[in-house]
Amino acid sequence: MTAIAIFGLAIITSAQSIIFSPSNPSLCGVQSISISAELVTTPSPALNFPYTKLTGSEIYVSTSGSNTTGNGTFSNPYQTIQHGINNAVNGQIVTILPGTYSGSGNVNISTQGKQIIVQSEQGPINTIIDCALNGRGFLINQGETMTTVIKGLSIMNGKTNAAPLLYGSGIFVEDNSGIKIVDCFFINNQEGCIQFGDNEVSGHQSGIENCSFISNLNSCIGASKKSFYTESCFFYNNSTTGELFGNGHVENPSQYYQNCVFKCNQGNIIGGLGHGKILNNSLFISNTTAQGIIYMGTNWSGTNTIDHCTFYNNTCNYYNSSWYDHTGQVLSSIFYPGDARSHVSGNQGSIPFSFSLGNNILGSGNIQGNPLFINPSNYNFNLDVASPCIGTGASGSNMGADMNLIPSWMFNFLEHYSGSFNNILWENGQTTDTVTLSISQSQYVSVQFTDCGATYTDSVWVEFNQQPTQPITACYETATFNSTTCQWDVTGTQPTQPTTACYETATFNPTICQWVVTGSQPTQPTTACYETATFNPTTCQWVVTGAQPTISQPTNQIININNNAQFVVSSSDPSATYQWQTDLGVGFQNLNSVVQYNGTTNDTLTISNVTMSNNNQPFRCIVSSGSCSDTSNIAVLTVNNNIGLNETSQDNLFSVFPNPAKSLINVKADNKLIGEVYKIYDNSGRVVFSGKLDSQNTTIELGNLSGGIYMFSVGENMKQAFKVIKE
């Protein structure tokens, strides 16, 4: 970075370089590549705008204030600019604290005819009115004069939504009003920035001082028979289909522009001078127009004048007006390079140039050639000591603009904004930051950046490599080409082999990309209840364990009447259980330990006091071991009647008839048995009916008993007993 002295003014210059992304592009058989380019300015100086606010009786506004509870003091400010103005009186200052102000109360602001100052606390860089494309900044229409001042604000994104429409989207000043605008920035306003009047009615004068106009559309400054002046203003990258400033109507006093800088603006013309307007000591750099930089309008009320101005590196066209009175004069100015009359349009035959430098202007002290600026690429338009323009202007002055009269902050702005190069051109004609190219061989790709005449060109080498053959992959793998390494990257692993039993086989099937398991476990063998089948994975076989318990069989018994009989079984399983059964004509039924029977769930069954009714009675035992059970052989009890005559006589003490019986039985008993208890037992030995023999003939109701064989006994211990059959 270097600093160039211009009569005590330091201008910072910077270096530019083009950065490509990727910085080392390469291709591996791919037919297209995207490359981005960026022009980098090192360093990019920050905006440096000198600002001093005015002091006096101040009302404060802040984005964090309140229109309800605020009182306009510094510690308790209002919230919106309009509310601050509403509460101001003539002579007061509405001071706006730093921040961005938008929406209701901060657009379409009216100064209400008051003689007040509306200013920022810390200058236009820090205090912004953002119209958000929905309204203008200020509407001045209640008879204000230049005692009403707007100072130190940035007004941006203006677009009219209230009358008058389509112009003055930053500030509109009505015919009957005037204003002074100082230290303000106008940025990205869509329908022009400042408009003075709209009905061609003369009114109060206005002034614009020390302001910047950046990237606006349509006329930055326009007027309709309104008198105003423009001093020390900066115009950069504005665009219009008409003229950037001026108009062709009569004003009193006449408009003038001085000590201004215009760079990188586009339009039909930059400025229009008519009816005695003056353009003085201003600098025009790298502007592009269709009909010259300055257009001379009518001269009915005075001579239009360009005096001590410098025009450098502009792109403009010669234009000759058919109007005879579109004329003026050019004094002590420099037009380089190019034709001087391409810069100044009008009735060319009536526009005299004098004491100026430029091609195709002769006589009256005019000269041609190189003005020998010290360093115009870095905005040093001071004249070298060898310049032919020194002392050759009118009255012995130097030709061109005096740089000492142009505020120093404008050169900082030139340096700052010149870092924004928006015009890009690739070798294939594309104009975007990123270009996509089809490449079939290694080559250079070039790009060009331009900004108002400055051109920067560079190129990047693109390496082309042949793509290697794609590797053969298994079904579970993916081959992806990596253009960075110029290799195929194989990813993916074979699915994990499943765990299989000894009788199974896992085989990988590449067709379906899966492991297929085949084989089935050997059939489990059929086992008895006392056996257990267990699969042995070591031998891959079923192993059967367990043996059937053995039992000893009961034997037939022959017992004399009135004695006890026993049947015995045994098992090899010490934990075996037993259940004795007998068959009294309806199949084997479980016995309970009642009446004659004892030990019915033990290994030994005892039948007490056997009678002739027990003769030929079969018995068996169910032996259980765990879930297994076995049934013993049948053993038969044979009863011998060997008790003698008294017992035989005793057997005839009662009789029962009919037998079998359907519902009633009759018992005929000897007198000896009257008063004895009789009982009827079912096959399990359970008493189902009982009573007393009250006489020699007793009738017993059997209707509630189900059909079967029952034991009928009289007296304790079944002294007299026999079978009774219920049909």
Convert 141-182 into a string of H (helix), E (strand) and C (coil): CCCCCCCCEEECCEEECCECCCCCCCCCCCEEECCCCCCEEE
How many helical (H) and strand (E) elements, i.e. helices and strands, does the chain have?
4, 69
Can 3-44+421-465 and 58-315 be said to share one CATH topology? no
Q: Quote the Cα angle for 125-129-132, to 5°.
A: 120
Q: Return d(Cα 242, Cα 221) in angstroms, integer.
A: 12
Strand partners, 70: none
Question: How do 708-714 and 720-726 pair as beta strands?
Answer: antiparallel
Structure tokens at 488: 């195929």
Choose between 405 and 440: higher pLDDT: 405
State the chain's mean pLDDT as an integer.
Answer: 87
Strand partners, 16: 41
Token readout for 96 is 């706006």
679 contacts: CB under 8 Å, gap ≥ 6? 687, 689, 690, 712, 713
Phi then psi for residue 244, to 5 deg, are: -75, -35
Task: List beta partners, residue 669.
Answer: 654
Residue 4: which of 384, 264, 311 has the closest Cα? 384
Q: What is the pLDDT of residue 9?
A: 26
Q: Using an 8 Å Cβ cutoff, are 320 and 348 in contact?
A: yes
Could you tell me if 101 and 62 are in contact, meaning their C-beta atoms sit under 8 angstroms apart? no
DSSP three-state, residue 342: helix
**Least confident range of 192-196, 384-388, 442-446, 723-727:** 723-727
Asked if 108 and 135 touch (Cβ cutoff 8 Å), the reply is yes
Q: Is 454 left (phi over 0), alpha (psi -120 to 50) or beta?
A: beta
Architecture of the domain delimited by 58-315? 3 Solenoid (2.160)
> Has residue 574 got a pLDDT over 50?
yes
Between CA 172 and CA 190 the distance in angstroms is: 13
**pLDDT band at residue 720, thresholds of 50, 70 and 90?**
low
Tens of pLDDT, residue by residue over 309-329, are: 999 999 999 999 988 889 999
CATH class of 3-44+421-465: mainly beta
Cα separation values, 396 from 208, 332, 366, 382, Å: 31, 10, 13, 17
- Domain 647-726, CATH among 3.30.1200.10, 2.60.40.3080, 3.40.50.300, 3.40.50.720: 2.60.40.3080
**Going by CATH, does the domain composed of 551-640 fall within 2.40.50.100?**
no
* Residue 587 backbone class (left: φ over 0; alpha: ψ -120 to 50; beta: rest): left
Q: Which strand (E) or helix (H) includes residue 128? A: strand 127-130
Computed from CA positions of residues 406, 409, 413, 414, in that sequence, does the dihedral angle turn out positive or negative? Answer: positive
Tens of pLDDT, residue by residue over 119-174, are 999 999 999 999 999 999 999 999 999 999 999 999 999 999 998 999 899 999 99
E strand intervals along 404-484: 423-426, 434-438, 443-451, 454-465, 478-482
How many Å apart are CA 669 and CA 527, to the nearest integer? 60
* pLDDT tens-digit map of 668-696: 888 888 888 888 887 767 888 888 888 88
Question: Rounded to two decimals, what is the model's pTM?
Answer: 0.61
Say if residue 285's pLDDT is above 90.
yes
pLDDT given at position 723: 78
pLDDT over 50 (residue 41): yes
Q: Map residue 663 onto helix, strand or coil.
A: coil
Q: Where are the domains of the chain?
A: 3-44+421-465, 58-315, 551-640, 647-726
Whether 548 and 530 have beta carbons less than 8 Å apart is answered as yes
**Tens-place pLDDT, residues 499-530:** 999 898 999 999 999 999 998 989 999 888 88
Q: Give the model's pLDDT for residue 30.
A: 66
Task: Using the structure block, give the residue that is written with the tokens 């005819």.
Answer: 113
What is the per-residue pLDDT for 116?
A: 97
- Give alpha helix (H) positions in 269-398: 340-343
Q: Say yes or no to pLDDT of 453 above 80.
A: no
